[in-house]
Structure 1
Amino acid sequence: MDKKLTFEEIFEQNERRIHYQIHKMHIHDPHKEFFQEGLVALWNAYETYQPDKGPMATYFNYTIRNRLIDRMRRNNRQHEIQQKAAHEQKTQLTDGNYHCSTDGPRSIAANQSLPLKDASFWKHIQPQLTDKQWKWVDYAIIQEVPYKTIAKQENTTVEAVKSWGRHVKKKLKDPHFRELLSFEGYDV
């Protein structure tokens, strides 16, 4: 049989193969992107098929399936990159300096429960903090300096600066510490 089928004929006979592979792999394809990918794979398989290597149907299935897997991997990789970029942007915007509340994360500067600009409040607790904890309060809370800048200025890492802040927050939440300093009126 020397007569080669046209691609249109191959497509009519094998269109369901693409749909089958998409369904078998549980791919949600509302915009038909994966179907298009499968169609390109079918075309490539049609162009590169060698009859002496095995049955055409097996080659089509193999090519379509692997092309769909490659597309899923590209989509997943792209999604991960976008997630990392969004996380990095959020971290840069908040600089990790946020307070979790029932309304969701809010910048500490927006947290009205802390008397941020009340110098007497901070001077009242300063003796109870270590030097590094006080540096965090002074730079991050009072002066609103970004963590990266604090780390560079203090010749340390951003994680170390965040650790200073965690210790301060832990102290501020401790009922014994609050009682000791007599600032029960503040909701920290």
Structure 2
Amino acid sequence: MEKQKKAVSMTFEEIVEQNERRIYYHLHKLNIRDPHREFYQEGLVAMWNAYEKYQPDKGPLATYFNYTIRNRLIDVVRKEAKEKEKVDAYKQFQGVKEKTGNYYKSGGNAYPIKYAESPNLEAEELLQVAKAILSKNQWTWLKLFIIEDMTTKAIAEREGVSVDAVKSWGKEARKKLQKLYSCGEGI
């Protein structure tokens, strides 16, 4: 009890001088590299908080320092990991946004899919070609789903058919348009 009263009456600078090794111990134990001493600063802040909140009747100050420093360092590591994860996800999103995002894999490598060059046709001409090869229902799907951005459910309600029927129209329309595009017919 004498030691605990003595510890509380010491200045924080004296406490740091005596307990600074605890911070280094936890940095080493948690395998944290700290070239810019950011984690060391967090350890000091944790030590300060422990010093301020310490209640002698709850246990030894040294144990409380260890607990507080260790948990603060773990929290900071987790926070930095989450931030890095968010930055990486954003970079990946931007990379996909800048590229087409379509790749095929062969032999462990990913290669971008190259699209066939098509002549510059105006949108109206493309729609006329599509209308000529699609059935009435397939054209309805193309116009409402692709151009007007309606959901399959909304199209089904509007046309008085099932959602599966609308999906079938879209599937067949895609097949015809892919066949047209890959063969270069009409375009």
Unaligned runs of 5+ in 1: 120-130, 132-150, 173-180, 182-188
Task: Determine if the alignment matches structure 1 residue 23 to structure 2 residue 28.
Answer: yes
Please state how far the C-alpha of 1:92 moved relative to its aligned partner: 1.1
Q: Could you tell me which amino acid in structure 2 is paired with residue 10 of structure 1?
A: I
Counterpart of 2:117? 117
Q: Could you tell me which amino acid in structure 2 is paired with residue 29 of structure 1?
A: D
Counterpart of 1:60? 65
Is contact 1:99-1:105 (8 Å) kept? Answer: yes
Percent identity for Structure 1 against Structure 2: 50
Aligned length: 128
Which of 1 and 2 has greater Rg?
2
Task: Determine if the alignment matches structure 1 residue 71 to structure 2 residue 68.
Answer: no
Counterpart of 2:54? 49
Is contact 1:94-1:107 (8 Å) kept? Answer: no
Per the normalisation by structure 1, the TM-score is: 0.56
Alpha carbons of structure 1 residues 93 and 50: separation in structure 2 relative to 1, 3 Å: same
1:63-106 deviation line (CA, Å, top 9, x unaligned)? 0001001101110110111011111111111131346689x766
1:116-152 deviation line (CA, Å, top 9, x unaligned)? 2266xxxxxxxxxxx9xxxxxxxxxxxxxxxxxxx85
Per the normalisation by structure 2, the TM-score is: 0.56
| Residue of 5, 8, 25 corresponding to 2:10 | 5
The Cα RMSD (Å) is 3.4
Q: Could you tell me which amino acid in structure 2 is paired with residue 24 of structure 1?
A: K
Q: Could you tell me which amino acid in structure 2 is paired with residue 36 of structure 1?
A: Q
